[in-house]
Structure 1
Amino acid sequence: MAALIAWVMVLAIAAYACAGGTDYGAGFWDLLAGGAERGRRPRWLIDHAMEPVWETNNVWLIFVFVIMWTGFPRMFQAVFEAMWLPLALAAVGLVLRGAGFALRKPSRRLAQRRLYGAMFAISSLLTPFFLGAVLGGIAAGRVAVGINASADAWANPTSVLAGLLAIAATAFLGAVFLCCDARRFGADDLVGYFRLRALLAFCAVVVLALIGLPVTHNHARYVWEGLTGGLGLLLIALAAVCGLATVLLLLRRSYGWSRYTSVASVALTIGAWGFAQRPYVLPTSLTVAQAAGAAHTLRWLGIVTAIAIVLVGPALVLLYRLDTMGELEPLSDADTRAARAPGDTL
């Protein structure tokens, strides 16, 4: 039961990396869109593409934390003791990001829109970096039961590389999804705009992955060995194939299928990481069995998780399907129009 729930947690992390990652990637491109006039059209598309599902995507992160503190309390304690600072910064980024995105559109003052837009964009850059840094520190074996918080736990080569990879991967996902959304919203001028950025982001992922080879070998040896053999290597190879397939689909302008291949490339990479560090949840100090909670707790957690999958899973699949088909219309400017005050700038 403990091993099964651990794999459910890995799948939930993969779901958040893919679903929430598209949102972080959109925020990354929002940050680089340029000034108010030059960035108006890309930001308009980002707002309209994210509105129907961006709050739903954060459900996966909550699901991960619930499974961790209920099913693996020793792991939860160790991670939050050693990594409280990057996790706190990621949480602050989540709050500011949501506030900035929600308040930017109804704001009528240009200065306010710029402030909220900066909050949204910068937080979309910092949050995935710190979450990736936490995973990198875990993979490098910098987290163990009884270890106190220190900068070494998350400000090490593996953590920094994992944080940068998280930014690049989310930027890649976001740009691929925005290519499809540009066609869906009839913004043909933005299809090529985001296609170029998707290709550039993929190149960044490849470069960081190549840099990561010696870094992982030297600083996360156990995970390195898992990624270079067995199922870990197979999943990494499949992830690379899916990434290359995404590039070919983008070049052929097959944007619909590129969504699925880009998601598969990121999800398979997360799965490879899970296989690489088994049977440990904290390499090489805490196994899944050692971290697991009481047997009756795991049984109830398994039952509740199964019920949640049966009841909530189909609803989430339907929601994402309706969104990709363009059936969920975002709020119009008239729907969110706030009362204007003297001096407001449209």
Structure 2
Amino acid sequence: MIYVVLFFTLFSFFLYVLLGGADFGAGIVELFSSRENKKINRDTIYRVMGPIWEANHIWLIILIVILWIAFPVYFNIIIIYLHVPLTLVLLGITMRGVAFIFRHYDAVVDQSQNWYNWMFRISSFITPVFLGMSFAALIGGEIVMTEDYSNYSFYQIFMAPWLNIFGLLVGLFYAALCAFMASTLLIGESDGEVRKMYSRKSKIYTVLLVFIGFVLIAYGYVNEVEFIKDFIFNPTSVLSILISAVLLFPLWKAIKKENKVASRYLAGAQVMLVIFAALYAHFPYVIITSGKEVSLLAETAPDSVIQVLGISLIIGGAIILPGLFHLMRSFKMIKVFDRDNQIFKK
């Protein structure tokens, strides 16, 4: 049953990166749009993201609950040593949710709408950056695990592991990934000149994503970040990245042709390959501290707890996944089954 729990852990992580990332990315695309295009982006986001934006955070909640119940040692390290960036993430999600609602449904339309707009855009950008910095802290080898906090400063224990250049690069990489996913998704949710605009943005964010990824790997290798070195010299991870690189050509073609279906699913494949390459290189030792590596499978919950959790996840998945599919299909976010859309046609 532990493999069932592991599957749902990784599956929830992937869906949050993909769907939650596209949600954050919509705000990033709006933030870095011209003044004329900001209103177009805002209206498109409400039409497309509005019906499902709350559902995206289900996967984050499921992931946290699984870690809390099944992998208490892992959860304990995250909550203690990353409480600062994770608090900022929660504040960003809250600010974003408040702004999303009030800038659209506020009964009074006045100057406060501008504040809501900027709150939404900025929180959409900084939240994935802090999420990326939190992940960087887990793999950066800077976490100091100790029971005697008097020997270290607050900064050394709770700030230094994530507030560094490597953490910033990982945060910017995830923010660029979010913008890439959102702009590619919105190609299939618009028409005419607006679709051309999102096609241009998707090209820009594709190039930016590749550039930041290259800088991130180069920086990690030069500064001997263990996770990056293992990533570079792992044949399976390298193969995944090579496949991802090859898929850039059909993806670029699909974006250029403004293909509603192919661009979306090729982008999803890119994200899946990148996540697989990153996690496979060091799994299950996803936490690397200054003194040791911590396995996700170290000191798991008792078998009886894992058994109940696994059964609950299977039952919950059987209920939630069809509902999510129906929700996204109802609002035409899943294009592949539409008669008017074919993968190899515009």
Q: Which amino acid aligns with 2:72?
A: P
Within 5 Å, which residues of 2 pair with 1:129-148? 129-143=129-143, 145-146=145-146
The CA distance in 2 between the partners of 1:326 and 1:73, in whole Å, is 36
Matching residue of 1:83: 82
| C-alpha distance 244-228 of structure 1, shift in aligned 2 (>3 A) | farther
State the 1:326 CA deviation: 8.4
CA distance in 2, matches of 1:302, 1:142: 33
In the aligned structure 1, how far is the partner of 2:71 from the partner of 2:334? 39
Letter in 2 for 1:182: S
Of 178, 189, 192 in structure 1, the residue corresponding to residue 193 of structure 2 is 189
Question: Could you tell me how far apart the structure 2 residues matched to 1:144 and 1:243 are?
Answer: 39
Percent of residue pairs identical: 25
User: Quick one: distance in 1 between partners of 2:218 and 2:274?
Assistant: 18
Matched, 1:213 2:212: no
CA 81–243 in structure 1, closer or farther in 2 if over 3 Å, else same: farther
- Whole-Å separation in 1 of the counterparts to 2:280 and 2:321: 24
TM-score (norm 1): 0.87
Q: Is the 8 A contact 2:31 2:38 kept in 1?
A: no
Structure 2 residue matching 1:311: 3-state secondary structure? helix
SS at match of 1:153: coil
- Sort the Cα spacing of 1:75 and 1:216 in 2 relative to 1 into closer, same or farther, 3 A: same
- Map 1:259-338 → 2, pairs under 5 A: 259-283=264-288, 284-324=292-332
Q: In structure 1, how many angstroms separate the alpha carbons of the residues matched to 2:47 and 2:5? A: 36
Q: Secondary structure at the match of 2:331?
A: helix
Structure 2 residue runs of 5 or longer lacking an equivalent are 150-156, 336-346
Deviation at 1:215, TM superposition (A): 2.1
Contact 1:168–1:205 (8 Å) recurs in 2: yes
Deviation at 1:64, TM superposition (A): 1.0
TM-score w.r.t. the length of structure 2 is: 0.87
Secondary structure of the residue that 2:286 maps to in structure 1? strand
- After superposition, the C-alpha distances for 1:63-103 in whole angstroms (9 at most, x for unaligned) are 11111111111111111111111100000000010110011
TM superposition shift of 1:309: 1.4
Distance 2:308 2:334 in 1: 38
Which residue does the alignment assign to 1:95? Answer: 94
| Segment drifting more, 70-79 vs 213-222 | 213-222
CA RMSD across the alignment: 2.1
Q: Report the equivalent of 2:14.
A: 14
Counterpart CA distance in 1 for 2:139 and 2:248 is 23
Conservation of the 8 A alpha-carbon contact between 1:28 and 1:171? yes
Shift of 1:297: 1.4
Q: Give the Å deviation of 1:198.
A: 0.8
CA contact (8 A) 1:139 1:277 kept: no
| Partner in structure 1 of residue 123 of structure 2 | 123
- Work out the CA distance in 2 between the residues paired with 1:110 and 1:263: 39
How many residues are aligned here?
A: 322
Distance 1:246-1:326 versus aligned 2 partners, 3 A rule: closer
**5+ residue gaps in structure 1?**
328-346
CA distance in 1, matches of 2:110, 2:189: 26
Structure 1 position 43, deviation (Å): 1.6
Give 1:55's aligned residue.
54
Structure 1 position 198 matched with structure 2 position 202: yes
Shift of 1:121: 0.7
Give the counterpart letter for 1:49 in structure 2.
Answer: V
Structure 1 residues 18-68: Cα deviation after superposition (integer angstroms, max 9, x where no partner): 101111111012212344x55222221122111111011111111111111
